[in-house]
Amino acid sequence: MNTETTADTASAGTSADSSAARPTGTGFTRRALLGTAGAGLVIGAGAGAAGATALDRTSPAAPAAGGGALGAARVPFHGEHQAGILEPQQARVQLAAFDLADGAGRDGLRALLRRWSRTAARLAVGEPADEQENQVALDAGPCSLTVTFGFGATLFDKAGLADHRPPALEPLPAFPADALDPARGDGDLFVQIGADDALVAVHALRVLQRQAAGTAALRWQMSGFARTPGATARPMTGRNLMGQIDGTNNPKPGQDGFDTTVFCTAGPDRPDWLAGGSYLVFRRIRMLLDNWEALPLDRQERVIGRRKSDGAPLNAPAPGGESSPVDLAAQGPDGSLAVPADAHIRVAAPAANGGAAMLRRGFSYHDGLLADGSPDAGLLFLAFQADPRKGFTPVQRKLARGDGLSRFLRHEASGLYAVPPGAREGGYVGQPLLEG
Ligand code: HEM
């Protein structure tokens, strides 16, 4: 579910301008060049979120350690929102969840979040993690590293914070055909580590894991990937392992209602500590790729409702582009719907779900073969939203009941996390909760 943007959507002003945020194969864009004025590249959150959001995150450039152009790119850790939500997906991701140790309690949690936040801020500017640096990422720059922390529902009781658990963190309902492995889902603390270099991402995970020792134990871990910046001749929306251009119709920073869709800006049952935060729904969704790849191209396209080649909706005359307007009422020459009744984009569209929307920021995974010889591969679906009860849940209810895509998917793991707002300089993620 890449949010990188094609030139046509960017020029239409409807898409996150990822070209402004990351060095590309064809050189640097103006914004990136401006960022290099000091030394290292500094990327504002929102990757082209015109206006306040992007600017808030951009701090004066300081030299970034090591790395070439890609390596020197960095995303500030501190800001209104946590890093790793608004930026385009990096080439690599490490996802992990930790469970709090017995007896760690609120004090242990506070100390851990302080330690983790300090480390994430250092790694984000290419500094060594701490005195026990293992040098795994030595020589590389920060490579757009972001570390995003989330709190699972189970954290609150264990840390003596039950009164502060937000109602929207209630467990997701069971959906038809769910095949969830509890050992690979949920967890007290969630961490998303993104970077444009695999060693940089893994290094960060190892450091956080070591720093958690005695306070929290790793519950599960998964690795994912998206397109590497510069892999295409120009910045483009990425493709998933089914070969589809994925991320086109994501809400875009700057659009009306973007902030209220993605961030907890208000709401009667939103706790104060979560103001400016978000909720993250995670699903490990295996793709039944052998079945999918046996389907002829035109049927694959009807499953989604968009052409594979250019991502244009099936109502748009060729050659179109992924930014061609979707017309769900359009009919083909035979009078049937151009975008089929069970097409994924029709069933998932906000218009079909009472306005429910979310910011999808998933990554592909490919973990070898299963016992039956089929690929253990798919999508680490990640969606940020202001309220999962009004975003993911109604949409997934509809999809699971029978959109064209669901029969090629298995939801194998799931998690829901409250994502606190960003930390201020010198502060730590979760501070308003733990010291409020
Ligand atoms: C492996 C699983 C999935 C795949 C491969 C997939 C693929 C796609 C593709 C190719 C598009 C069209 C391009 C775009 O607008 O991004 C799309 C759109 C979308 N998907 Fe999915 N998707 C998956 C799972 C989900 C899930 C679980 C949800 C939410 C419950 C979801 C919600 C959406 C939404 C809201 C849109 C935009 C619809 C619109 O307004 O046009 N998708 N997806």
Residue corresponding to tokens 């939103």: 270
How many angstroms is it from 349 CA to the middle of ligand 1?
9
Per-residue pLDDT tens over the stretch 124-174:
999 999 888 889 999 999 999 999 999 999 999 999 999 999 999 999 999
Q: Does pLDDT of 199 surpass 70? A: yes
**pLDDT band (50, 70, 90) for residue 66:** low
Burial zone of 413 (CB within 10 Å; 0-12 exposed, 13-18 middle, 19+ buried) = buried
Quick check: 44 pLDDT over 60?
no
Inform me whether the pLDDT recorded for 416 exceeds 90.
Answer: yes
What whole-number distance in Å separates Cα of residue 292 and Cα of residue 275? Answer: 42
Name which of 149, 125, 151, 155 is nearest 137 in CA terms. Answer: 125
Instruction: Tell the residue nearest (CA) to atom 28 of ligand 1.
Output: 396
Ligand 1 atom closest to the CA of 383, numbered from 1: 29
* Residues annotated catalytic, as ranges: 246
Say whether pLDDT at 398 is over 70. yes
User: Which residues sit with their C-beta closer than 6 Å to ligand 1?
Assistant: 240, 242, 244, 246-249, 283, 285, 287, 304, 306, 326, 344-345, 348-350, 378-379, 381, 392, 395-396, 399, 409
- Are 392 and 105 within 8 A, CB to CB? no
Global confidence as pTM: 0.89
Query: Distance (Å, rounded) from C-alpha 166 to C-alpha 156?
Result: 10
pLDDT at 175 over 80: yes
Check residue 28 and give its pLDDT: 28
- Averaged confidence pLDDT in the chain: 87
Dihedral sign for Cα atoms in the order 187, 191, 197, 200: negative
Flag whether pLDDT at 230 surpasses 70.
yes
Q: How far apart are CA 328 and CA 249, in angstroms?
A: 14
- What is the structure's pLDDT at 304? 98
Rounded (5°) CA angle 354-357-361: 160
The amino acid at residue 338 is A
pLDDT in tens, 298-333: 999 999 999 999 999 999 998 889 999 999 999 999
User: Looking at residue 57, what is its pLDDT?
Assistant: 29
- Nearest C-alpha neighbor of 144 from the set 230, 214, 244, 206: 230
| Stretch 202-214: mean pLDDT | 98
The secondary structure of the chain in percent helix, strand, coil, rounded to multiples of 5, reads 25, 20, 55
Closest C-alpha among 166, 165, 391 to residue 270? 166
